[in-house]
Amino acid sequence: MEPICPIDANCSDQISLLLNPPSPVQVQKYYEEVIANRQSCGLEVRTNGEYGKGVYANMDFKKGDLVLKDPMLFGIQHSSNKMDCLVCSHCFQFIGSLELQIGRKLYFQNLADSSKSRCEKGESSSSLQDCSDQYHLSHDDSDVEDDDVEQRGSSNSKCDSISLPKDFIDLLMNGGLKLPDSNVVPLPSVVSCPGGCKEAYYCSQLCAKADWDSYHSLLCTGKGSKALSTEALSQFIQHANETNDIFLLAAKVISFTILRYRKLKEAYVEENEKYDTPNNLRRCNFSLLLEAWEPMSVGYKRRWWDCISLPDDVDCCDEASFRLQIKELAFTSLELLKAAIFDKDCEPLFALDIYGHIIGMFELNNLNLVVESPVENYFLYIDELPHSEKEKAEKVTQPFLDALGDGYSNCCEGTAFFPLQSCMNHSCNPNAKAFKREQDKDGQAILIALRSVRQGEEITISYIDEDLPFEERQLLLADYGFRCRCPKCLDQELSS
Ligand SMILES: [Zn+2]
Ligand SMILES: [Zn+2]
Ligand SMILES: [Zn+2]
């Protein structure tokens, strides 16, 4: 049955004002501010009729130049990635220590593997011998059971990792064991959430405070949380983790807007206390909400259940029921979120129509958040050591590398919304691309010029693999809602 959200009907006028696209002048002004806050940004956003917005070079760039460093407005680490990588919940750089990263990963890997089928015993015993010799641990101490030294394999019975005994993993995690030269990948120490939850960790007090003030104080499940009910919040988070973690990103948007609204309101009340009647205050509430919503208003949006592309395994004739299911799923998630953080002043934000548009905006503009793993860099470093040093180091490191298996190099992965990068139009022959340099260790989007770009030229990126054949490219781009007419496509269309 079609879900009915009462707020959609109660607040219909306010909802349409929130969803009303801002005027080109407002858009221009918003992006000028965004660009002014980026250091040395040689770009401008222009609005034009046909494609909406575009980003243009305000100066010449040479091939390889940094075109843009774009901090995210909203971002999440994928739920499934949280066991692989411990990152700052605000800037997404890796935190703790190399040992903690490896120890955590092995700990979760062991948990996950314990139910999987096992392979025969392999060489793991000898590697373990090396390992315990190195740390002068007696076998009595480590209490190695047969179970623990068995090689573990995936369900197709192909061995891809070897497990280490729990004691080594504990030692790694609690700092009792140092790996050789691990200081070549220094990581900031872990700062806990000020609200006391066990879900958010940070690289610094600065990130902890910024995250708390902008999003997390309402989304924290700890004792210090500002949510109405941390129990409801936990249910919301669990539902998102089990269904689609895009709901966590949408919750961040709503929480961000509420917190921004409260700050604007506070400032307004302070300023106007002497002159304003309570009625005037009520009337201004919605204009403050509109102001708080501004960063969202400029993003191109459609309802999630209308714009989501049909999965391959869904038959065309089941399309309507698929879209209805998506809508129902969103409604379930929204109801849980409402029970957790509802705010009467910001009621329109809890309309299903708004929730659908927020998620739809991510569906259409979402960009991958990727941060390279220091664990990979560490093992590369060891591999490149001169022969004798390498041999010595590997005696210690190899068992860990074996235990980590193929996933040793897994990056931090998530979804984020970058305000400027999301304005960049697609070309199958782009002049810029997202590229993390060695010094880029957090979640910001980094764009590099692929060739020289003249002042006034539009900056373009490719949304897809631009080397695919023409028809395949058009098929993929149809998911973004357009047919590409870049020079390369026009050329190939003519010649076919
Ligand atoms: Zn941080
Ligand atoms: Zn917290
Ligand atoms: Zn094209």
Residue 129 has pLDDT above 90, yes or no: no
Residue 294 has pLDDT above 70, yes or no: yes
- Amino acid (1-letter code) at residue 8: D
The number of the ligand nearest the C-alpha atom of 461 reads 3
Quote the pLDDT of residue 282: 64
Q: Return the percentage of the chain with pLDDT > 90, whole number.
A: 63
Question: Does residue 197 lie within any of the structural domains?
Answer: no
Q: What distance in angstroms lies between residue 312's CA and the mean position of ligand 3's atoms?
A: 24
The number of the ligand nearest the C-alpha atom of 490 reads 3
Q: What distance in angstroms lies between residue 202's CA and the mean position of ligand 1's atoms?
A: 5
Question: Does residue 47 lie within any of the structural domains?
Answer: yes
What is the average per-residue pLDDT within 95-101? 96
Question: Does residue 192 lie within any of the structural domains?
Answer: no
Residue 391 has pLDDT above 60, yes or no: yes
The H or E element spanning position 416 is strand 412-417
Q: Return the percentage of the chain with pLDDT > 70, whole number.
A: 87
Residue 389 has pLDDT above 80, yes or no: yes
Same domain, 456 and 485: yes
Question: Does residue 199 lie within any of the structural domains?
Answer: no
Residue 120 has pLDDT above 90, yes or no: no
Q: What distance in angstroms lies between residue 219's CA and the mean position of ligand 2's atoms?
A: 7
Q: Could you tell me the residue range of the domain that residue 318 belongs to? A: 6-23+207-368
What residues pack around ion ligand 2 (CB closer than 5 A)? Answer: 193, 195, 197, 200, 220, 222
The H or E element spanning position 218 is helix 217-219
Same domain, 359 and 378: no
Same domain, 222 and 349: yes
Same domain, 403 and 427: no
Quote the pLDDT of residue 281: 65
Question: Does residue 83 lie within any of the structural domains?
Answer: no
Cα 399 from Cα 132, distance rounded (Å) = 10
Q: What distance in angstroms lies between residue 188's CA and the mean position of ligand 1's atoms?
A: 9
The number of the ligand nearest the C-alpha atom of 223 reads 2
Same domain, 116 and 164: yes
Q: What distance in angstroms lies between residue 173's CA and the mean position of ligand 2's atoms?
A: 21
Q: What would the pLDDT profile of 75-88 be if each residue is shown by its tens digit?
A: 999 999 999 999 99
Question: Does residue 452 lie within any of the structural domains?
Answer: yes
Same domain, 242 and 329: yes
Q: What distance in angstroms lies between residue 222's CA and the mean position of ligand 3's atoms?
A: 48
Question: Does residue 126 lie within any of the structural domains?
Answer: yes
Q: What distance in angstroms lies between residue 312's CA and the mean position of ligand 1's atoms?
A: 38
Radius of gyration of the chain (CA): 26
Residue 171 has pLDDT above 70, yes or no: yes
What is the average per-residue pLDDT within 341-345? 96
Quote the pLDDT of residue 283: 66
Our CA angle for 103, 104, 108, nearest 5°, is 120
Quote the pLDDT of residue 49: 61
205 CB-contact burial (10 Å; exposed 0-12 / middle 13-18 / buried 19+) = exposed
- DSSP 3-state of 175: coil
End of a domain among 390, 409, 428?
409
Question: Does residue 354 lie within any of the structural domains?
Answer: yes
End of a domain among 360, 383, 409?
409
Q: What would the pLDDT profile of 219-264 be if each residue is shown by its tens digit?
A: 999 999 999 999 999 999 999 999 999 999 999 999 999 999 999 9
Contact indicator for 88, 202 with CB cutoff of 8 Å: yes
Q: What distance in angstroms lies between residue 442's CA and the mean position of ligand 1's atoms?
A: 8
Quote the pLDDT of residue 40: 63
Indicate which CATH number applies to the domain containing 468: 2.170.270.10
Same domain, 362 and 388: no
Tokens of 57: 């070079």
Quote the pLDDT of residue 243: 95
Cα 463 from Cα 444, distance rounded (Å) = 17
Same domain, 364 and 218: yes
Same domain, 440 and 469: yes
The number of the ligand nearest the C-alpha atom of 237 reads 2
Domain count, the chain: 3
Q: What distance in angstroms lies between residue 171's CA and the mean position of ligand 2's atoms?
A: 26
Same domain, 244 and 333: yes
The values of phi and psi at residue 180, to 5°, are -60, 135
Same domain, 136 and 164: yes
Q: What distance in angstroms lies between residue 100's CA and the mean position of ligand 2's atoms?
A: 20
Q: What distance in angstroms lies between residue 207's CA and the mean position of ligand 2's atoms?
A: 12
Q: What distance in angstroms lies between residue 1's CA and the mean position of ligand 1's atoms?
A: 44
Q: What distance in angstroms lies between residue 460's CA and the mean position of ligand 2's atoms?
A: 38
Q: What distance in angstroms lies between residue 452's CA and the mean position of ligand 3's atoms?
A: 20
Q: What distance in angstroms lies between residue 486's CA and the mean position of ligand 1's atoms?
A: 38
Same domain, 174 and 221: no
Contact indicator for 127, 399 with CB cutoff of 8 Å: yes
The number of the ligand nearest the C-alpha atom of 207 reads 1
